[in-house]
Amino acid sequence: MVQDRKTDIARCQEIAPGVHCQEIGKGISRSNVYFVQSGASWVLIDAASAGCAPLMKRTAESLFGANTRPASILLTHDHPDHAGSARELARTWDCPVYVHPDELPLATISDLSTVTKYANPLDRWVILPLLRVLPRRRVQSMLSKSSLKPLVQAFDPEGGVPGLPDWQCIHTPGHTPGHVAFFRPADRILITGDALLTVDLNSIWSFPLWALRQSRHKVSGPPWYSTWNRLAAGESVHLLAGLEPSVLAPGHGVPSGGEDMASGLRACASR
């Protein structure tokens, strides 16, 4: 067990000064979280799947010292593979959780009408039909457990990024209505959530290759089956490509830089 913990923490890599990326989770629910330092404080961007809080807490202590806690937890969006451990971490660290104002209805969900309003294809074809045949009390319990209310709050995108004064918030709607990316202009580091990935989850071949951790990665937009508005998602890809990042740090896949990433990003935007 001790060796497993050391191995998991070792997977946390510094991809830019003060920016550490860790891939957490199992199977297709694996996602990247980012420990981002700014001055004497730090922020966690995204919170992986449920059950991953202890690993993130150990990693934070390995980076910043015992009993450390972030200034805030920032969520690029409120899907369960990016926000699943936010509730537990916020309570453990006694810190706020922030989302874009347009994401707040999803983060504080209380009934099926909200799921219906912001449904993506997976919701419409699988999730909602299943929820509608379950007992109402059980559905309410499930929604309550996934809701971040009252821990989450909306931040003003024009007022700066909470805890990260040297970063900018970029509203990138499409995958979800309030999806955001985070950009550090000084060195053009771009944390994209699921607005841009370095693994193609829209290909049936991506799943076995991704599971085997292949070294070849392709810049891609978000998976269509879990994307709320594909037109808006495409516009967000163009917006992010226009930033010409030096490092693309995605929610899924390996953070990438250099000309291969740049050409892949241009190709993705052209599609």
Q: Return the number of other C-beta atoms located less than 10 Å from residue 190's C-beta.
A: 24
Q: Identify the pLDDT of residue 4.
A: 43
Question: What DSSP element (H or E) covers 3?
Answer: helix 2-10
Tell me, yes or no, whether 119 and 245 share the same domain: no
Per-residue pLDDT tens digits for 236-268: 999 999 999 999 999 999 999 999 999 999 999
Higher-pLDDT residue of 211, 142: 142
Cα–Cα distance between 85 and 21 in angstroms, integer? 16
pTM of the model: 0.93
Last residue of a domain, one of 146, 168, 200: 146
Q: What is the mean pLDDT of residues 212-222?
A: 68
Per-residue pLDDT tens digits for 163-206: 999 999 999 999 999 999 999 999 999 999 999 999 988 765 45
Tell me, yes or no, whether 136 and 19 share the same domain: no
Tell me, yes or no, whether 123 and 57 share the same domain: no
> What mean pLDDT, rounded, does the chain reach?
91
Tell me, yes or no, whether 141 and 25 share the same domain: no
Tell me, yes or no, whether 127 and 172 share the same domain: no
Quick check: 197 and 220 in contact, CB under 8 A?
yes
Q: Identify the pLDDT of residue 212.
A: 40
Tell me, yes or no, whether 52 and 170 share the same domain: yes
Q: Identify the pLDDT of residue 217.
A: 66
**Cα dist from 248 to 107, 192, 252, 259, whole Å:** 26, 7, 11, 12
> Quick one: which of 102, 108, 26, 36 has its CA closest to 73?
36
In terms of residue numbers, what domain contains 252? Answer: 2-108+147-270
CATH code, domain carrying 250: 3.60.15.10
Share of the chain above pLDDT 90, in %: 85
Tell me, yes or no, whether 176 and 130 share the same domain: no
User: Tokens 């010292």 map to which residue?
Assistant: 65
Q: Identify the pLDDT of residue 209.
A: 46
User: What is the total count of domains within the chain?
Assistant: 2
Tell me, yes or no, whether 130 and 47 share the same domain: no
Tell me, yes or no, whether 94 and 48 share the same domain: yes
Quickly count helices (H) and strands (E) in the chain: 12, 12
Higher-pLDDT residue of 116, 5: 116
Encoded tokens for 227: 């994307």
41 beta partners: 38
Q: Identify the pLDDT of residue 6.
A: 53
> Quick one: which of 152, 154, 168, 155 has its CA closest to 38?
168
Cα–Cα distance between 39 and 216 in angstroms, integer? 35
Q: What is the mean pLDDT of residues 216-230?
A: 90
The amino acid sitting at 165 is: P
Last residue of a domain, one of 97, 131, 146: 146
Tell me, yes or no, whether 130 and 158 share the same domain: no
Quick check: 158 and 89 in contact, CB under 8 A?
no
Per-residue pLDDT tens digits for 5-44: 455 665 799 999 999 999 999 887 899 999 999 999 999 9
> Quick one: which of 97, 128, 109, 269 has its CA closest to 177?
109
Q: Is the pLDDT of residue 139 over 70?
A: yes
Share of the chain above pLDDT 70, in %: 91
Last residue of a domain, one of 146, 170, 198: 146
Beta strands in 70-176 (DSSP E): 72-74, 97-99, 152-154, 168-171
Q: Identify the pLDDT of residue 9.
A: 65
| Residue 129: partners with Cβ closer than 8 Å, 6 or more residues away | none
Q: Identify the pLDDT of residue 218.
A: 86
Tell me, yes or no, whether 158 and 209 share the same domain: yes
38 beta partners: 41
What is the helix, strand, coil percentage profile of the chain, to 5? 40, 20, 40
Q: Identify the pLDDT of residue 10.
A: 58
Tell me, yes or no, whether 138 and 168 share the same domain: no
Q: Identify the pLDDT of residue 211.
A: 44
DSSP label at 116? H
Q: Return the number of other C-beta atoms located less than 10 Å from residue 35's C-beta.
A: 23
